[in-house]
Amino acid sequence: MQECPRCFWLHFHGKKRPESIFPSLPSGMDAILKKHFDKFMEKGELPPELMKSECKEGCELFNDAALLKLWRNNLKGISWTDEEGNVLHGAIDNILVKNNKLIVLDYKTRGFPLKDDTADRSQNQLNLYNLLLRKNGYETEEYSFLLFYIPKEILPTGEIIFDAQLVKRQIDVDEAEKLFKKAIKLLNSDCPTECCEWCEGR
């Protein structure tokens, strides 16, 4: 929606953008990271990536395995329906708990070191996840974490070593709700006329 309102409108009116080839590595990393974290969750411990960060002070992994599995499911996930019947839906990577409050933890895989604005690109995502949790009756902290995995080196034995970098982000659920309402207003309006390279002529 923010990149091209017209493409967004067309997407929900039956004319989606042509899909480009999506690399499978991020999906593969996401799957093994969830298994990795779940092993520590079952032991009641934090993985070493988080033990090197501020998370070691009072944070635990969310340990309701059945609910976490539901929230991670792209087809089910966490949903909220507003008073007009509009549905907001999302699927999370993981949750931390501190002082009975939930903290969203999202995994990211990058090929290169972080830039100053790298984490900015995920701000709306974190805001929306927190909005969904709060609309479902959960109390969340005023911040979330992005955990970046960046390839560092290949050992002589062939193993690839990744650096893990945790980034803390303040969240704003009011901005998330404004974004959702903006999207609904756009979809209930006429198709925007300004085109991008994807939707020109469609």
Main-chain dihedrals φ then ψ at residue 35, nearest 5 degrees: -65, -40
Reply yes or no on whether the pLDDT at 197 is more than 80.
yes
pLDDT for position 26: 83
Bridge-partner residues for 90, per DSSP? 78
pLDDT for position 189: 97
pLDDT for position 113: 93
Q: Check: pTM over 0.85? Answer yes or no.
A: yes
pLDDT band at 35 (very low <50, low <70, confident <90, very high): very high
Query: Where are the domains positioned within the chain?
Result: 45-187
Pairing of strands 160-170, 143-154: antiparallel
Main-chain dihedrals φ then ψ at residue 38, nearest 5 degrees: -65, -35
Q: Give ∠ CA 140-45-25 in degrees, rounded to 5.
A: 80
Question: Which SS3 state, helix, strand or coil, does residue 104 take?
Answer: strand
Q: CA-to-CA distance for 34 and 96, rounded, in angstroms?
A: 13
pLDDT band at 92 (very low <50, low <70, confident <90, very high): very high
pLDDT for position 18: 81
pLDDT band at 112 (very low <50, low <70, confident <90, very high): very high
